[in-house]
Structure 1
C-alpha cells in the first residue's frame, strides 16, 4: 500500500509540475503574442503619424488643388463643383417645403413650415434604410423605392402643413454624390461613392430620374433645388448664423463646401452673380497627395473597393472606412502575432463586419477591465475570452486610426482657410469664421470630434482660434435643402 501511495504521490507531483509548465508556456506564448502585436502597433503608429509639419504640407497641397480645380474642369482631383447657389438663406423664407436627403445607406424625407424671421415653425421627418441590393442594382429600382417612401410621407401630411389650393409642393433634393451641376435644379452624376455602384446612372440627370420615379408613384412634387449635402449644410447653417462660411460633412462619407468669390473661379463663364459669391462643392473626398500618411491597410482597402484609386482622402477619414481599417490591422495581428489564438477568427476575415459605431464604442470604453471591448469582440467577431492586454491593444488600434482621420480632416479645413485668406490675422478686423459640421461620425464619435477641434486650434494658433468656431449643424443638409427650395420656389 505504501508503494502505491508513493507512486500516486509521484504521479500527482508530476501532474502538478506538468500543469505548472503548461501555465508558464501559456504565459510565454501570450507574452510573445503581445510583443509581436505591439511591434505591429508601433509600426502602425509610425506610418499613421500626423505631426503638425505634415498637416501643414497637406493643407498647402489642398490649397493648390483647390486653385487648380477652380481654374478648369478636370484640372484637379478636386472637382470644385459650381453649385449655382449664389444666395444663401436670409431668414425671410416662408411656407411649407419638402426635402429629400440621400446621403448614404439611409435617406431622410422632411417637411418644414418656414415662418420668416420666426424661424422654423414645424418640422417632421422620416428616416429610411436603403436595401443593400438597391445600392448596386438599377437606377429605376433605386429611385422607385425612394419615390414610394416619399409617397407614404406626403400621404401622411397633417392639416397644419396643407398648401393653398392650386399650389404644387416643392422639394429640395440633397444628393450627396459628385454631380456636375447644370443649374439649380439639374445635374448629372459624375460617379458613385459610399458603397453605391449603379453604372447606368453615371452621366444621367439625377433630378430627371427622381421626377420620373415620382410620376410613376403618383407623387405630386417639383424639385426646386438640387444640392449636395455640404451645400445644404452650409445653407442650413447660414440660416441660423450669418458667420457660417464653410460646411464639412464627416459621416459615412466626407466632403466640404465653402463660399468663394465669383472672381476667383476662372472656369465660371456665366454672368457674375449679383452677390459676387458662389458656393463651391469641393468633393474633397477625392483629394490625394504624396504627403498623406497612407499605409498597407489603406492601399489594400482601396484596391478591393468598388472605386479603386478614387476617394482616397474619404477612405482615410470617413465613417464608412474607419472600422474596416481597424479590422484589417487586427486581422494582421491575428495572423502574424496570434493575437486571438492559434487561428484567425473566421468573422474577422469578413470585410466591413466591424463598423465604425462599434469602433467608437470600444474607443470610448473607460471601464477598468474594458468589458465593453470584450463584449463587442465576442458579439460582432465571435472572439470569446479575450485578455485585458489584448483588449488594450484593440483600443489603441482604434485610437491610432481615429486620430489620424480626425487630424487629416482638420488639415483639410486649414486648406480652405488658407485658400480664402482666413488662416492668418492680418489686421485688427479679423472676420469671424463659423464652420457648420454635420454627419454621424462627427456627431457620435466624441474622441474624433474633439480631436478635429483640438487639431485645428493647434494648426491656426491660439489667437486665431478665438475667431474660428465649429458648430454642429444637426440635419443641416436636409433643412438646408428645404430652405434652398424655398429661395428658388417657382412662386417667388
Structure 2
C-alpha cells in the first residue's frame, strides 16, 4: 500500500494477510491484481463499523432521520439465566427441513444434562395447511416425551427456536412473516407460531407449555450467558449470519418499559437482523465482482447484502468463481476450464474449511480431481493458488465479522464483553476464531473482549429462556 491511510490490519503477518508462494513472479502479480478487490483496508473496515453504529442508533430512535436497515427487534428476553434454574425443560430448534428436540435437565450448582433427538420434516408437512406441520411437530414432541418416560407425568416448560421470519410481540408470541424457500404455508402468515404449536400440543393431550419463542441468535446469547459471565453478544456465523446483544432499556427510545414489559426492567436482548446491511448498495465498496454476480443470480437479489458476504452458503461459490476467473486469465491450471468448474455449488463451504485445515496437498488435489482435472494437469503452483484464494476469502470474512462485532462491543461499553458464537462456518473453519479475535483487537485496541463457542446454542439456549420464564411464573 502507498500510504498509512490505505494500511492493512496486521500488515506484516502472512496469517492475517495471505501471501501466494509461487516462483513465477509474473504469474503471482497477475493473481494479486485479479484478486485485489478481496483485500480490505483499515479505512474500509472502519467505515463498516461506522455504518453498524449508525444503523443501531437509528433503529432505537422513536423518530429517526431515516429508517434503519437493521430491525433492532425486541426479543422480550429481559432476564438471563443465572444458574439457579432447575427442573426439566423441553426445547426445539425448527429449521426448513429438520427438527431437533432437546431435553435439558437443570440442577443448581451442577452441569446441565442434555439429550437430543432429530426428526425429518418432509415436503408434505411443509406445504398447504399450517396445522399439518404443527400437528406433526406435536407428534414428534409426543414421541420424544415417550422416549424419556421419567418426564411423562410432569407439566413441562417448552422453549421454541423458530428459524423463520417473525415479529415478536411478547416472549411467547411470534407473528409469522415468512418461511424459507422450502416451506410454503400461506395461511400461517400473520398468525402466531406459538399458538399454532400450543394448540397442536393440546390436541395431543400433552402436558407441555410453550413459554418462549426465539431465533437462533437470541438462543445462542442466552446459552452463552449461562456458560460465562459478562456475555453480552450472541453471534451466528453458519449458513448465514446475525447478531444480537443485551441493551440497557433506558437507551432504547422506542420502548416504554412499563407498557412493553408490564414491569420495570433494566435490559433486554435486541436482535439486529444485520444481514440486510447493504441492500441499498451502501456496502458495494467492499464487494468484488464475484459478490455482485452471486447477488444478482440469487433467489433474492439485492437482499441480505451483508449476509451474502459472510455466510457459509456463499463462501464456496466465491472460491469457485475466483478460480474460474483465474483460469480464464490463464494463470490457473493452464487456462483449462472443466464444466464442473463452471457449475454453481461444485465447491462448498466445507471444502474451504477442509483445505484451510489440511497441512498436506491432499484436500486440494482431491477437490481439483473432483472438478475433472487429472493429477498430471495439477501443478504445485496451482495447489498454492487454491490455498491462497481460500485464505484470502477467509480473511475477508473474518475482517467483516470483526468490524460487525467491534461496533457492537463499542455500543455496549462494558469493562469486559464476551461474545457467544455458534454456526457451522465458525465451528469448522480452523482459522476464523483467531483471525476474528486478532482483527477485533486491532479495531478496538482499548476494549477487553472474548469470543467463545456456545455450541448448539440455537437449541440449548431456548431451553434456558423457557427455564427463566418458568421460574418467574412460579414466583408470580
The two structures have a TM-score, normalised by structure 2, of 0.83
Distance 1:418 1:102 in 2: 33
Q: What residue number does 2:177 align with?
A: 190
Report the CA distance between 1:217 and its aligned residue: 7.0
Check 1:147–1:309 CA distance in 2 against 1; reply closer, same or farther (3 A cut).
farther
Report the CA distance between 1:255 and its aligned residue: 0.9
Distance 2:168 2:213 in 1: 8
Report the CA distance between 1:270 and its aligned residue: 4.8
Report the CA distance between 1:43 and its aligned residue: 2.7
> 1:67 aligned to 2:57?
yes
Check 1:139–1:38 CA distance in 2 against 1; reply closer, same or farther (3 A cut).
farther
Q: What residue number does 2:41 align with?
A: 51
SS of equivalent residue, structure 2 residue 358: coil
Distance 1:38 1:134 in 2: 54
2:257/2:265 contact within 8 Å kept? no
> 1:420 aligned to 2:404?
no
> 1:362 aligned to 2:355?
yes
Q: What residue number does 1:258 align with?
A: 245
Distance 1:105 1:324 in 2: 22
Among 404, 416, 419, the alignment partner of 2:396 is 404
Q: What residue number does 2:147 align with?
A: 156
> 1:84 aligned to 2:80?
no
Unaligned runs of at least 5 residues, structure 2:
1-21
Q: What residue number does 1:351 align with?
A: 344
Q: What residue number does 2:254 align with?
A: 267
Larger Rg: 1
1:259-298 equivalences in 2 (<5 Å) = 259-271=246-258, 273-288=263-278, 289-290=282-283, 292-298=285-291
Distance 2:194 2:83 in 1: 26
The CA deviation string for residues 312-334 of structure 1, in whole angstroms up to 9 with x for no partner, is 11111121211121122223334
1:475-486 equivalences in 2 (<5 Å) = 475-486=456-467
SS of equivalent residue, structure 2 residue 286: coil
Check 1:158–1:364 CA distance in 2 against 1; reply closer, same or farther (3 A cut).
same
Check 1:210–1:396 CA distance in 2 against 1; reply closer, same or farther (3 A cut).
farther
Distance 1:216 1:41 in 2: 63
Distance 1:71 1:134 in 2: 43
1:37/1:339 contact within 8 Å kept? no
> 1:434 aligned to 2:449?
no
Distance 1:38 1:151 in 2: 62
2:34/2:326 contact within 8 Å kept? no
1:111/1:125 contact within 8 Å kept? yes
> 1:394 aligned to 2:386?
yes
2:125/2:136 contact within 8 Å kept? no
Report the CA distance between 1:146 and its aligned residue: 4.6
The CA deviation string for residues 171-212 of structure 1, in whole angstroms up to 9 with x for no partner, is 11112344210111111233456x656472543432234445
The CA deviation string for residues 272-316 of structure 1, in whole angstroms up to 9 with x for no partner, is 653311110111212223375111111121122222222111111
Check 1:170–1:377 CA distance in 2 against 1; reply closer, same or farther (3 A cut).
farther
Distance 1:34 1:139 in 2: 62
1:126-141 equivalences in 2 (<5 Å) = 126-128=117-119, 137-138=127-128, 140=130
> 1:123 aligned to 2:114?
yes
How many residue pairs get aligned? The number is: 439
Check 1:295–1:477 CA distance in 2 against 1; reply closer, same or farther (3 A cut).
same
Q: What residue number does 1:446 align with?
A: 430
Report the CA distance between 1:457 and its aligned residue: 1.0
Check 1:211–1:309 CA distance in 2 against 1; reply closer, same or farther (3 A cut).
farther
Q: What residue number does 2:4 align with?
A: none
Distance 2:160 2:89 in 1: 11
Q: What residue number does 1:456 align with?
A: 440
Unaligned runs of at least 5 residues, structure 1:
1-30, 423-430
1:174/1:478 contact within 8 Å kept? yes
Among 300, 310, 316, the alignment partner of 1:307 is 300
> 1:236 aligned to 2:236?
no
Report the CA distance between 1:491 and its aligned residue: 4.9
The two structures have a TM-score, normalised by structure 1, of 0.80
Distance 2:118 2:384 in 1: 36
1:185/1:225 contact within 8 Å kept? yes
Distance 2:449 2:34 in 1: 35
